[in-house]
Amino acid sequence: MGRERIQILDGGMGTTLESLGHSVYSDLWGSELLYTNPSAMQSIHKGYVEAGADLVETCTYQLTPANLQSYLSSSSSTTNSSEEYKEQSSSSSSSIIRSSVHVVHDSFHEEPGVVFSCGPYGSTLKPGAEYSGIYPSPYGPNDPNDPSDSSETKTDKVNYFSTTEEGKAQEENAIRHLTRFHLDKLICLLDDDEGEVWKKIDWIAFETIPLLYEIKAIRRCMKTLNEIARNKYTNGHSQYDGTEKQWYIKKFWITCPFPNGQHPQLTPEGKNISIDTLLHTLLNPHEDQEIPNGIGINCTNPLYVPQLSSQFTKQLNKIRRAKQEQPVFVLYPDGGQVYDVHTKSWSTPLDSPGNAMEWSKGVLEVVHSIEQDKNDDDQYTWDGVIVGGCCKTSFGEIKALKIGLDELYGMRFANNI
């Protein structure tokens, strides 16, 4: 066992688009290329495949049916009535979301590995809130009519609900709205009765998730989605009991950002939640929530990754349960730069990796450490590893990962002969 337990994910999309001269300053972060220039989008996917990626994400991180309809409406010169156009744009937005799957699938020469990307609700806000988790009501605890950030009378915004009965009711309401938010996007993929698009998807990736209650919403969303897919593709006759593997039940992962090395979710006391609390929220069995097949870290400075990964592994060992499959560890840190959501600009700390090889070396050291961890029965702690890059990583970083992994496991194999 070794290299076959590790799959390589692609690198950043938005920053790669920007580096190639494409604008990423629209509300869609460049994803409008799926509509205006899909061949340009596909060339990037192909670039990652050629660099060594086994899995490639769709460019749908920030896309939703709503913001796509808004984009299509603002860019169209149609003379149809508003009601007619609303129906047309709804159909078009769903078609564009589905097309993202074909664009990735057709970028592979063989054995396609399509990952459908879903960002958090916070990725649709202005400024983005995937690193803060500051959501307006009903998706969060904040009054959307509060004064702006520049106002001296501004009410402090928070990313947690109170522990009172009222606070618990508000959190449950937010979970319902966030479940609907994620489900509306994914329902678009359940196309025809044969599941042409759905069959092409290997993983669904929920990325940069900053809140515990959004994690609960995602798990609830996937439970509902799997039930809808099961009924649709078996005509409601499936006797699925959760044990057998069916093509229409999709694997999914949930990864979180760790700005400054801490999860963004705060407690009412103002402290960052622990990794222990996070893993219990991710993996605790719940009758109306699906358990993710993968968990981990994305869009985080690589300097924080060794300690965070160690904490993930330590806590997973504490909560191992009989008869429950172990998750895959999913790791795709950023390139080491820092993004300002207000100015939409990047800065480079002095301790950032100097080049792609330096970046990949640090990441591979973490992967190697994870793969060394086994229990007393010599069983791996994790079911495997998916490793790639996020913002400010591109083809060079993924190629360096591929070279490093092949050298690491090639040398080990040679030493065992």
Name every residue whose Cβ is closer than 8 Å to that of residue 254 and which is 6 or more positions away in sequence: 206, 209, 215, 218, 219, 282, 292, 294, 295
Is the model's pLDDT at 215 over the cut of 70? Answer: yes
Q: What pLDDT, in 10s, does the model give residues 320-341?
A: 766 678 999 999 999 977 766 6
Measure the CA–CA gap between 399 and 390, rounded to whole angstroms.
Answer: 14
The pLDDT assigned to 323 comes to 62
Measure the CA–CA gap between 38 and 36, rounded to whole angstroms.
Answer: 6
The pLDDT assigned to 19 comes to 85
* Confidence band for 350, pLDDT divided at 50, 70 and 90: low
For residue 118, say whether it is annotated as part of any ligand binding site: no
Measure the CA–CA gap between 329 and 367, rounded to whole angstroms.
Answer: 9
Work out the angle at residue 15's Cα, subtended by the Cα atoms of residues 130 and 58, and round it to the nearest 5 degrees: 75
Q: What is the DSSP letter of 142?
A: B
Q: What is the DSSP letter of 60?
A: -
Domain holding 372, by residue range, is 3-416
Specify the CATH number for the domain of residue 386.
3.20.20.330
Give the range with max mean pLDDT: 6-20, 27-41, 215-229. Answer: 215-229
Q: What pLDDT, in 10s, does the model give residues 129-166?
A: 999 999 999 999 998 876 554 433 345 799 999 999 99
pTM of the model: 0.90
Q: What percent of the chain is predicted at pLDDT more than 70?
A: 85
* Confidence band for 53, pLDDT divided at 50, 70 and 90: very high
> Across residues 123-134, what is the average pLDDT?
93
Q: What is the DSSP letter of 132?
A: T
The pLDDT assigned to 72 comes to 86
In this structure, how many other beta carbons lie within 10 angstroms of the beta carbon of residue 169? Answer: 11
Tally of domains in the chain: 1
The pLDDT assigned to 121 comes to 98
Task: Confirm if 297 and 264 have CB atoms less than 8 A apart.
Answer: no
**5: region left, alpha or beta (phi > 0 left; psi from -120 to 50 alpha):** alpha
**pLDDT averaged over every residue in the chain:** 87
